[in-house]
Amino acid sequence: MLLELDIMELYNKAIVICDGKVKVADLPQHGETRIVTHQVKVKRSSGMGEKALSEKQWYKKKENWWIAIGGLIAVIALSIPFIIMKVSNSKFALKEFQNLGTVGDFFGGTTVGLLSLASITLVTAAIIMQKEELRLQRRELKLTRNEFETGNNTAKVQQIDNAFFNMLSLHHQIVNNIKLAEGGDPLTGREAITELKKIYENKFAFRQFKLEYPEEGFRSYAHSSILKGFTEKIFKNANTITQESLDEVYGDFHAAYGNNIGHYMRNNYRIVKFIVNNVANDEEEQKKIEEETGRKPIIGDKKYYFGMLRAQWSNAEFELILINSLYSENHKFKNLIIKHDVLDIEETQKKDMSQEVFILKESMDKFKAYKKLIEINK
């Protein structure tokens, strides 16, 4: 058996082929079609039939039964006077005009009760039909509202994404515009950031050198072996950096190189703040953010956006951003990084989730010198 279908004529149709039979139905503008199968055969379907069925058969609708009953009662009511006349073999002779009142009383007395009952059934049918229309209208409005909300949410997600990726583009422009001239050839971009990280570490190592050898000068410290030894002593061991020492060294570093890197750090803070205020992980967080900011965020995955941001950073950028956040004057940035694990450095596998202390990952041993500054209450 060969089945040929004209797809241009069968526009917006649902087709089911089973057991040698084909059922075709018009797809409703809004609604659903259900197909129930048993042993790989269609047993019944809702919204489909062999003649493009999308409506119930007439006898399955309550209002049709009420209309039929009402019509039947009306016919009976109108038939009763004539039935009475037939059975009683009565005849009415209208010789005078005033006799018409008697005829009217007769017909009214024999039909009014049943006609009233018929009107009640027809009114009931009208109420049922109106109720069904209102139900369909409410359903249509609900579907329209859902579609509007879906479209609105999609547009808002696109708006957030566009703003986010524009901020990333700005981030790269800022990186490319960073310049550093320290005696030799000027450095730009990520090379300048890498050099700035080395300058910061050297400042820390020199501070430690002066604490241990207060009488020695910079020339003694500048020897490569001494420089490397103090750098490793500070940054290769755990908990060697205190808040006081970091504030002192980074404060001096920022005073000297803030014009080179300050704009870069502030931009990263604004990107993180943008993600936190515009992306919620669930409805509960969405309501909380809306109460705090007055703006309704989208529901999405913050980790996705944080991951995209981290992907833009080099290793030197990653480290300098964390160091910048640990500086006391930048405590707001630190709070965001710790609370939302922006840098993905929190240990989650071995951590007791009931604890509210931030635990540094073992794989992040390059930050172990800052461990006691990182592992704090969220």
The CA-atom distances, in angstroms, between 80 and each of 58, 106, 118, 205, 377 are 29, 11, 14, 115, 91
Q: Is 181 helix (H, G, I), strand (E, B) or coil?
A: coil
Phi, psi of 226, rounded to the nearest 5 degrees: -65, -45
- pLDDT of 280 over the 50 cut: yes
| pLDDT(219) > 90 | no
Radius of gyration of the chain (CA): 42
**Per-residue pLDDT at 307:** 95
Helix pair angle (315-326, 243-278), 10° resolution: 110
Q: What is the pLDDT of residues 232-243, one digit of tens each?
A: 888 889 999 999
Q: What is the pTM of this model?
A: 0.62
Residues 6+ apart with CB under 8 A from 253: 199, 200, 203
Please state, in angstroms and rounded to a whole number, the distance separating the CA atoms of residues 232 and 7: 74
Contacts of 202 (CB under 8 A, 6+ apart): 227, 231
| β strands within 166-262, DSSP E | 179-180, 187-188
Other Cβ atoms within 10 Å of 252 Cβ, number: 13
- Summarised one tens digit per residue, pLDDT across range 54-103 is 445 655 667 677 778 878 877 887 787 677 667 666 665 555 445 545 55
Contacts of 296 (CB under 8 A, 6+ apart): 286, 289, 290
The sign of the torsion formed by the CA atoms of 251, 253, 257, 261 equals negative
Q: Quick one: DSSP state of residue 357? A: B
